[in-house]
Every structure is written in C-alpha cells, then in structure tokens.
C-alpha cells in the first residue's frame, strides 16, 4: 500500500448541514449553547467533587471520570464543528483528521468503560452495601480508571495507523463536521478489508462487550432488589440507578444507530446520518451533568450552594 505522501488528496472536506450553508451562522447558536452547557456543567461537577469532601465517594469519583471524558469529547469536536458554522472552514489535513478520529474513538471507548464501572459500582452498592466502601477504595478506583484509559488507547491506536497507509483518490468529502473511522476509510481507494474487520472487532470488544456486561449487571441488580421485602427500600435502591440508566441509553442508542447506518444503511437519508452523528457526540456530554444534577439530591444541593455563594 502506498504512503500518504503518494495520495491524490492531501485534505478532506468536512460537512456541516448540506443545503443549509446560508444559515450556518444561525445554526451555530444552538451548537454553541450545547457546547457551553456541556463544558460548564461537567466543569462544575468536577469542581464540586474535587472541593467538597462530603462527595468523595466511589459513585461521585466515577462520575468525575465520566465528566472528564465528556469534556474531552466536547473539546476535540469544537474546533471543526464551529469552524464550519462560523467561517465555512471545511478543509482538514489528513494527519489532523487521523488525530481527531483517534481522540474521538478512544474517548468514546473510555466513556463506555466508565459506564461499565459505574454499573459495577451500583451493583456492589445494592448487593453488598456493608463492604461497598472497603472494596472500592481510592487506590483501587484509580487503577480501574487507568486500565480504562489504557484499554481505550490500545484498542483505538491501530485505526489511524492503518488509515495512514492508504491512498485517498476518491471523493474527499466526509459526512460529518469531524472525522470518524467509518467515514474516513470509505474515502480510500486501497483495500480496506483489514480496517473494516478491525473496526467491527473494536466495536464488539468495546460497545458490544460493555453493553452486554452492563445489561447482565442490571439483571443481577433487579434480582437483588426484588428480594428486598420493604417497598420503600425497593424504590430507594432502584432510584439510585436511574441516572446511570439514562447515561447508558444516551450513550449507546445513537452510537449503535450510527454504526448500523455506516455499515448497512447505504440507502439511508444523508440528513439522518448527519443528525445522528451530532446526537452521538453532543448529547451525552450535554445531558449527563443535567441528569445527575437533577436525580442526585446531594449533588444538586452542592451545586445550588456554589451558585448562591
């Protein structure tokens, strides 16, 4: 396979919302609001968890890891998305595109791992509350977080390295305002079977495996909760899982939908693909801090206290 230096195209062209270029500045307003809310919301949660000793509990530490991941996803996609809507800056070099897709996919993989850890946290809190704090100690949580990061980097790193070996001589217009592996590899005029197989492997190993284990965790949680005699305790136990369930649905539903469209939906409307792409990256970082702030009375009280001060 030829090196990148031999390719016909030296840049890719990103896509905003086709046919709506005249009103891109107006469309940028809700995008700016979403970015501001997601960055401020996740930053506030991080600030509270760091400065308030009363929330130095495993559940909130895992939440802070999720917030850091969501911040990373927002920061990685801001330059290209707002660059298109504000300045019609569509060009992105191949190396910059490969770097962006590496960070997007690795952060998505890390977020999937964080949701898995949070499911384990809820299972342990309900199944064995007396040993909960002694099992999930700070050093152990830090090691679990490090493993999630290393897992994401190790699994995703081969993707941009494989893409860099291809020749790109087909249409160089991407489907989104950011680079993702499924979209970029279709631009290659080399044999992409290895990338296609490895991309499917990474999806099954991360999203597929994590979502399956989360589902099994909730089956075991439900089994434990159903054995509780008191209705009050039954409802209270289930209520602690609502925020996490919302985060899981917000993350996996658009991701799985977009993966299915990229692989099998050749006849699907382009606008559907574009909208799902924005939902896939913008909605989880936007909604996670809102959901957790609304559902957690303890966290909500701390946030109100911060803003009142």
Q: Is residue 153 part of a domain?
A: yes
Angle separating helix axes 297-308 and 270-295, nearest 10 degrees: 90
Q: Is residue 140 part of a domain?
A: yes
- With CA atoms as reference, report the closest residue to 15 among 7, 25, 24: 24
Q: Is residue 2 part of a domain?
A: no
CATH of the domain at 279: 1.20.1070.10
Average pLDDT of the residues in 268-288: 85
What integer pLDDT is reported at residue 266 of this predicted model? 67
Q: Is residue 228 part of a domain?
A: yes
pLDDT band at 2 (very low <50, low <70, confident <90, very high): very low
What integer pLDDT is reported at residue 35 of this predicted model? 94
Q: pLDDT tens digits, residue range 98-146?
A: 999 999 999 999 999 999 999 999 999 888 888 888 889 999 999 999 9
pLDDT band at 196 (very low <50, low <70, confident <90, very high): confident
Q: pLDDT tens digits, residue range 209-241?
A: 999 999 999 999 888 887 775 777 777 777 778
Q: Is residue 139 part of a domain?
A: yes
CA within 13 Å, CB half, 48: 25
- The span from the CA of 276 to the CA of 280, in Å, is 6
- The span from the CA of 245 to the CA of 236, in Å, is 15
Least confident of 28-32, 35-39, 277-281: 277-281
Are 281 and 73 in contact, with CB atoms under 8 Å apart? Answer: yes
Are 248 and 291 in contact, with CB atoms under 8 Å apart? Answer: no
Domain coverage including residue 205: 8-308
Could you tell me the end-to-end alpha-carbon distance of the chain, in angstroms, rounded to an integer?
61
Structural domains of the chain, count: 1
Q: Is residue 3 part of a domain?
A: no
Q: pLDDT tens digits, residue range 43-98?
A: 999 999 888 888 888 989 999 999 999 999 999 999 999 999 998 888 999 899 99
Q: pLDDT tens digits, residue range 287-301?
A: 999 888 888 887 888
What integer pLDDT is reported at residue 1 of this predicted model? 39
Of residues 38 and 275, more confidently modeled: 38
Average pLDDT of the residues in 189-215: 88
Q: pLDDT tens digits, residue range 149-194?
A: 999 999 999 999 999 888 887 678 888 899 988 888 888 887 888 8
Q: For the chain, what percent of residues have pLDDT higher than 90?
A: 37
Average pLDDT of the residues in 27-48: 92
Q: Is residue 65 part of a domain?
A: yes
Q: Is residue 300 part of a domain?
A: yes
């Amino acid at each position: 396979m030829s090196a990148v230096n031999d390719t016909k195209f030296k840049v890719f062209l990103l896509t905003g919302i086709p046919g709506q270029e005249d009103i891109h500045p107006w469309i940028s307003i809700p995008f700016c609001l979403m970015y501001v809310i997601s960055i401020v919301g996740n930053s506030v949660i991080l600030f509270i968890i760091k400065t308030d000793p009363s929330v130095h509990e495993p559940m909130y530490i895992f939440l802070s890891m999720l917030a850091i991941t969501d911040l990373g996803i927002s920061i990685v996609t801001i330059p290209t998305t707002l660059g298109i809507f504000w300045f019609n800056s569509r060009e992105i070099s191949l190396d910059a595109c490969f770097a962006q897709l590496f960070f997007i996919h690795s952060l998505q993989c890390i977020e999937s791992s964080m949701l898995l850890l949070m499911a384990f946290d809820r299972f342990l809190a309900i199944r064995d509350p007396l040993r909960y704090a002694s099992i999930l100690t700070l050093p152990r949580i830090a090691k679990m977080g490090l493993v999630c990061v290393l897992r994401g980097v190790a699994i995703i790193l081969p993707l941009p390295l494989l893409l860099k070996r291809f020749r790109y001589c087909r249409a160089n217009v991407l489907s989104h305002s950011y680079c993702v592996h499924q979209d970029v590899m279709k631009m290659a005029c080399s044999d992409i079977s290895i990338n296609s197989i490895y991309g499917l492997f990474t999806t099954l190993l991360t999203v597929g495996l994590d979502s399956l284990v989360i589902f099994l965790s909730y089956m075991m949680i439900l089994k434990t909760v159903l054995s509780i005699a008191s209705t009050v305790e039954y409802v209270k136990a289930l209520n602690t899982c609502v925020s996490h369930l919302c985060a899981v649905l917000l993350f996996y539903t658009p991701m799985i939908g977009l993966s299915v469209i990229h692989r099998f939906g050749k006849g699907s409307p382009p606008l559907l693909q574009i909208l799902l792409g924005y939902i896939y990256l913008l909605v989880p970082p936007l909604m996670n801090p809102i959901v957790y702030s609304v559902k957690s009375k303890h966290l909500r009280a701390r946030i109100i206290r911060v803003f009142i001060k």
